[in-house]
């Protein structure tokens, strides 16, 4: 059985691509087979290459979209009175390229003065593909009466309220900043959001049309975070010359200030994410901005106008500020002309802006009615592979349910502070930051985040003495006296580990600054291994484009023997099950089956036998070469009778050298998100971070730590 949903825009600039992205993500998170089809490409002015919606879905979802028909071809067919033939070709392409027994998201055309035929063609395509209709509208500044009338008209066009094909409506850009003429402020200087108007949202929910059978399927609030462009996007738009590239591709712009005042009147504008525009000969302003950067404020970028380059002596004076990653751009236009160019900046998300696309997809998916999304997935086949989106959804959804308290010993580290703020805001955990409160709040301000009441800040000096007695009791046999215990507790990781050991928190995440050894050593000494575990090992969750793989052990045990390797395999399989992955475990070696000999391959062969005997309920096989385990055609050739070959999703490596090298090679070669290492076999969850971890890596590690805590 399949479901087909066609998104129909009600008006222009409704954010149809955004809604498509969100709906695709929401369905992906259910692990359901999915198609995406925009029958007719509708490029925006200035777009080159692939159709935008199709390209974004292709690059950022576990879906292979069906190729749309080119607009020129469609218009030629319509002008030749060949619409029927066009519809036949659309149906033929859909039937040939779509995955059977799946949900299909179909994106319609937007009616514009250049495409006046769009509304009629949408109607005909929806009928040809037998799709259910979901309208996408933007309330703007219109009265609820006007909005209701507009929806009534479009519902009548598609068969009226009695039509079983008309399902509902999604409101996008709710509470967005509209001007007095009802137009969305599109200039980059208007990306600060107005206050959320709950009364307005409630009024939309209570429109008379929703009492006649039409369903409200989602209200998507406008968010400033989702429209903040990268500095590189603005640089390309302005064709700017780079005086200092810095973190041009990473920094995002959340406000714009034109610096024409005295310094003391503009210090409040020197804030994270600010694009500061000034004449290139204003050395005083330039130096002030660089001083703010040196003080830790992560400004968005400096934009110099008039073609004036700062004096060489000033550039030398500010060289250390440049080293903080501050981008500096130069344009030849004057400040007024530059302001006009910024006003014309297109804030649609670029196809290559993965971070922003991910945020848009998550925000939109979470804004859709969950019961409706679940109804789409009933009686539709589920994917055999757990997609990255489904895995992330499982992580965040399960973490919200368990609501655990996770301590973060590196409380003053900027990425950790931002991650704690996100976790509290999204309800993924109750984060506890260890560190000086003044310093933590200063870091938060520099990073442009607000720490809500959901983030707890604990000063080490205020709690350290509470754990001295417990530490002496645990380590007294190793010569730890009260004096030594106080010294050991000066280390925040040890202090956080004692909080976990005493049951004051549920889990610990560290490693953004500390080494793996510094994170794990206190845990091994104080938390120790679980009763049913012979050792502590680790796994990484590798988020490939179309599935999630589990790699173990890539961080802890240098050269496990056969018994230890079998234990690692069982632990890794159980970890996979804990996170919604049905494990098929491959014991990796340089040889498959009985084709090779040697001590290394014999160890893997013996470990496989031990693991199979200990856990006959698990699918475990080996020795298998990596390609035989991962690629179906190779698996059938090299190990035709194996229940795992070609279908493995848990890979157990024979030693640390092989595992760590493989995980890093795969991660770096394909630019993958890797979550971990997650430690397994501990009494209580302690997890390590890579020192190069991104904020999202820390957020997901906190979430999986919370889930581990619930399973202990």
CATH number at residue 83: 3.40.50.300
Sheet holding 255-258, edge to edge: 241-244, 328-330, 301-305, 274-279, 255-258
Identify the domain containing residue 116 by its residue range.
3-225+354-383
The angle subtended at Cα 132 by Cα 129 and Cα 134, nearest 5°, is 125
Of 479, 507, 526, which marks where a domain is finished?
526
**Is the same domain home to 208 and 273?**
no
**Is the same domain home to 509 and 582?**
no
Distance (Å, whole) CA 2 – CA 510: 45
**Is the same domain home to 572 and 558?**
yes
3-state secondary structure of 34: strand
φ/ψ (deg, to 5) at 504: -80, -20
The angle subtended at Cα 45 by Cα 43 and Cα 47, nearest 5°, is 55
3-state secondary structure of 667: helix
**Is the same domain home to 21 and 158?**
yes
CATH number at residue 586: 3.40.50.10750
3-state secondary structure of 584: strand
**606 and 671 Cβ atoms separated by less than 8 Å:** no
Question: Which pLDDT does position 534 carry in this prediction?
Answer: 87
Query: How many angstroms separate the Cα of 458 from the Cα of each of 91, 447, 470, 498, 513?
Result: 62, 20, 19, 14, 19
Could you count the other beta carbons within 10 Å of the beta carbon of residue 39? 26
**Is the same domain home to 593 and 569?**
yes
Distance (Å, whole) CA 567 – CA 613: 12
702 lies in some domain:
no
169 lies in some domain:
yes
618 lies in some domain:
yes
Question: Which pLDDT does position 188 carry in this prediction?
Answer: 61
3-state secondary structure of 643: coil
Distance (Å, whole) CA 172 – CA 569: 47
DSSP E strands: which ranges in 572-708? 584-588, 619-624, 650-652, 673-680, 686-688
**Is the same domain home to 116 and 203?**
yes
DSSP E strands: which ranges in 318-383? 328-330
Question: Which pLDDT does position 198 carry in this prediction?
Answer: 79
**Is the same domain home to 57 and 199?**
yes
Domains identified in the chain, total number: 4
CATH number at residue 249: 3.40.1390.20
Distance (Å, whole) CA 275 – CA 309: 17
Question: Which pLDDT does position 84 carry in this prediction?
Answer: 86
Q: How far apart are the first and last CA of the chain?
A: 39
Output the six-digit token pair for 355.
Answer: 């971070």
Question: Which pLDDT does position 537 carry in this prediction?
Answer: 94
Could you count the other beta carbons within 10 Å of the beta carbon of residue 413? 22
φ/ψ (deg, to 5) at 549: -110, 155
444 lies in some domain:
yes
**158 and 316 Cβ atoms separated by less than 8 Å:** no
Question: Which pLDDT does position 687 carry in this prediction?
Answer: 94
SS3 content of the chain, % helix, strand, coil (to 5): 45, 20, 40
Question: Which pLDDT does position 296 carry in this prediction?
Answer: 87
**255 and 281 Cβ atoms separated by less than 8 Å:** no
**229 and 253 Cβ atoms separated by less than 8 Å:** yes
631 lies in some domain:
yes
Could you count the other beta carbons within 10 Å of the beta carbon of residue 84? 11
Q: What is the mean pLDDT of each run of 10 residues along the chain (712 residues)?
A: 87 90 91 91 74 90 91 92 90 89 92 87 90 93 91 91 90 82 57 64 90 92 87 94 94 89 85 92 92 91 93 91 94 92 84 89 92 84 72 86 95 95 93 96 90 94 93 91 93 96 96 90 90 89 88 93 96 92 94 78 95 95 94 92 94 96 90 86 92 87 93 66
**Is the same domain home to 216 and 236?**
no
**Is the same domain home to 300 and 410?**
no
697 lies in some domain:
no
Record the pTM.
Answer: 0.74
DSSP string, 54-88: HHHHHHHSS--PBPPBPHHHHHHHHHTT-HHHHHH
**Is the same domain home to 414 and 470?**
yes
Question: Which pLDDT does position 112 carry in this prediction?
Answer: 84
Going by their DSSP bridges, the two strands 537-543 and 673-680 should be labelled as antiparallel
Query: How many angstroms separate the Cα of 702 from the Cα of each of 420, 431, 605, 673, 709?
Result: 9, 8, 36, 15, 11
**Is the same domain home to 149 and 294?**
no
Of 526, 547, 566, which marks where a domain is finished?
526
**Is the same domain home to 30 and 90?**
yes
Mutual angle of helices 354-367 and 52-60, in 10-degree steps: 90
Of 319, 343, 367, which marks where a domain is finished?
343
192 lies in some domain:
yes
Among 289, 329, 292, 327, smallest CA distance to 309 is for: 329
What's the gap between Cα 663 and its chain centre?
Answer: 20
φ/ψ (deg, to 5) at 147: -60, -45
204 lies in some domain:
yes
**279 and 303 Cβ atoms separated by less than 8 Å:** no
CATH number at residue 518: 3.40.50.10950
Among 338, 177, 313, 317, smallest CA distance to 259 is for: 338
Distance (Å, whole) CA 261 – CA 285: 9
């Amino acid at each position: 059985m399949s479901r087909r949903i066609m998104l129909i825009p009600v008006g222009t600039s409704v954010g149809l691509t955004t809604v498509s992205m969100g709906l695709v993500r929401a369905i992906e998170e259910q692990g359901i087979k999915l198609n995406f089809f925009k029958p007719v490409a509708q490029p925006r002015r200035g777009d080159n290459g692939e159709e935008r919606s199709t390209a974004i879905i292709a690059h950022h979802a576990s879906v292979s979209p069906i190729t749309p028909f080119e607009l020129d071809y469609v218009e030629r067919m319509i002008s030749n009175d060949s619409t029927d033939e066009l519809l036949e070709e659309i149906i033929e392409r859909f039937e040939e390229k779509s995955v059977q027994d799946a949900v299909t998201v179909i994106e319609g055309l937007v009616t514009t003065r250049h495409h006046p035929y769009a509304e009629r063609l949408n109607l005909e395509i929806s009928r040809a593909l037998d799709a259910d209709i979901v309208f996408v509208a933007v309330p703007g500044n219109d009265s609820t009466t006007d909005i209701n009338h507009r929806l009534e008209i479009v519902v009548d066009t598609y068969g009226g309220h009695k039509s079983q094909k008309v399902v509902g409506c999604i409101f996008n850009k709710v509470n967005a900043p509209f001007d007095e003429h009802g137009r969305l402020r599109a200039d980059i200087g208007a990306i600060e959001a107005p206050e959320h108007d709950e009364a307005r949202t409630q009024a939309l929910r209570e429109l008379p049309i929703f009492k006649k059978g039409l369903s409200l399927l989602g209200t998507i609030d406008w968010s400033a975070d989702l429209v903040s462009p990268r500095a590189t996007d603005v640089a390309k738009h302005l064709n700017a010359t780079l005086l200092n590239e810095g973190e041009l591709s990473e920094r995002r712009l959340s406000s714009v200030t034109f610096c024409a005042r005295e310094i003391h009147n503009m210090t409040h504008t020197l804030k994270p994410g600010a694009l500061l525009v000034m004449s290139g000969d204003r050395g005083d302003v330039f130096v002030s901005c660089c001083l703010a950067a040196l003080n830790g404020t992560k400004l968005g970028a400096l934009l110099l106008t008039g073609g004036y380059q700062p004096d060489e002596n000033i550039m030398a004076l500010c060289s250390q500020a440049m080293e903080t990653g501050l981008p500096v751009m130069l344009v030849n236009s004057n400040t007024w002309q530059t302001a006009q160019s910024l006003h014309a900046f297109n804030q649609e998300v670029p196809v290559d802006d993965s971070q922003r696309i991910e945020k848009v997809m998550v925000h939109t998916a979470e804004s859709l009615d969950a019961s409706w999304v679940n109804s789409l997935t009933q009686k539709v086949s589920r994917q055999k592979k757990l997609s990255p989106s489904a895995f992330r959804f499982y992580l965040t959804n399960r973490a919200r349910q368990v609501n655990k308290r996770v301590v973060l010993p590196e409380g003053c580290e900027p990425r950790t502070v931002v991650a704690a703020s996100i976790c509290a805001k999204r309800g993924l955990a109750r984060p506890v930051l260890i560190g000086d409160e003044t310093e933590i709040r200063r870091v938060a301000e520099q990073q442009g985040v607000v720490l809500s009441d959901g983030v707890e800040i604990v000063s080490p000096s205020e709690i350290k003495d509470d754990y001295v007695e417990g530490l002496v009791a645990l380590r007294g046999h190793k010569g730890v006296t009260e004096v030594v215990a106080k010294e050991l507790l000066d280390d925040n990781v040890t202090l956080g580990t004692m909080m976990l050991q005493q049951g004051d928190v549920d889990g610990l995440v560290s490693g953004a600054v500390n080494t793996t050894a510094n994170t794990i050593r206190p845990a091994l000494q104080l938390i120790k291994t679980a009763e049913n575990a012979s050792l502590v090992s680790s796994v990484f969750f590798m988020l490939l484009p179309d599935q999630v793989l589990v790699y173990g052990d890539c961080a802890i045990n240098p050269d496990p023997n056969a018994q230890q390797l079998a234990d690692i395999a069982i632990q890794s399989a159980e970890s996979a099950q804990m996170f919604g992955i049905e494990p098929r475990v491959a014991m990796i070696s340089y040889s498959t089956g009985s084709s090779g000999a040697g001590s290394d391959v014999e160890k893997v062969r013996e470990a496989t036998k031990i693991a199979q005997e200990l856990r006959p309920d698990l699918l475990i096989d080996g020795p298998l070469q990596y390609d035989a385990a991962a690629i179906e055609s190779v698996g059938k050739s090299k190990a035709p009778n194996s229940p795992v070959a070609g279908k493995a999703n848990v890979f157990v490596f024979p030693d640390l050298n092989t595992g760590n090298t493989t995980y890093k090679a795969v991660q770096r070669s394909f630019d993958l998100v890797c979550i971990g290492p997650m430690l397994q076999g501990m009494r209580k969850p302690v997890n390590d971070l890579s020192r190069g971890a991104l904020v999202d890596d820390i957020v997901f590690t906190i979430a999986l730590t919370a889930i581990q805590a619930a399973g202990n």
